Amino acid sequence: MIIVLIQLAIPLALIGAAIGGRIAHRRRGAHIERRRAAVAHIAVSPRPAHPGLGELSNGELVIGSVVVGADYIRQLVGGLRNLIGGEVRSFTPVLDQARAESSLRMLEAANAKGAVAVVNVRFEAVRINNNASELVSYGTLVH
C-alpha cells in the first residue's frame, strides 16, 4: 500500500506542478498585457534611426532579459515531437511569452530613463541548458 502511494506520488506531483505551471503561464500572459499599456507611448524600431522617433541620445543602451524553462508536460510533448518532426507547438508559446517579457523589461527600463524611443532593437535567444533559454532584447535609447 505504502509502496503504491510512493509510486503514485511522483507522477502526481509532476502532473500537479505542470498544471500549476500552465495556470501560471496564463497569468503571466495577462500580466504582460497589463504592463504593456504603461509603455505603449515608447516607439520601438529595429532600424538604427527612424524619422520622427526623436533626435537626441545620451548614448545609452537598454537591455531586458529573462531565462525561462518549459513545464514538465511541455518537455514530454516536445520530446515526443522530436520523433516525428514538425513544429514543436508545446514550446512555441513559452518562448513567445518570454520574448514578450524580455522586450517589456527593456521598454520598462527605457521608460524609467524617460526615453521616447528605442532604436536598433535586437532580439537574441541563447540556450543555457537542456531546458532553460535566455531571451534578450536590447537597443539604443532616444530622448
Task: Tell me which residues touch other proteins (CB under 8 A).
Answer: 13-14, 17-18, 20-21, 24-25, 28, 48-49, 54-61, 63, 65-72, 74-75, 94, 98, 101, 119-120, 122, 124, 126-129, 131-132, 134, 136, 138-140, 142
User: CB 72 → other proteins: shortest distance, Å?
Assistant: 5
C-alpha cell at 84: 516525428
Distance CA 68, CA 71 (A): 10
Exposure class string for 44-62: b at 16+ Cβ within 10 A, else e: bbeeeeeeebeeeeeeeeb
DSSP state of 56: -
User: CB 84 → other proteins: shortest distance, Å?
Assistant: 23
**Cell numbers 524609467: residue:** 112
User: CB 49 → other proteins: shortest distance, Å?
Assistant: 7
Q: Which is nearer to other proteins, 3 or 56 (CB)?
A: 56
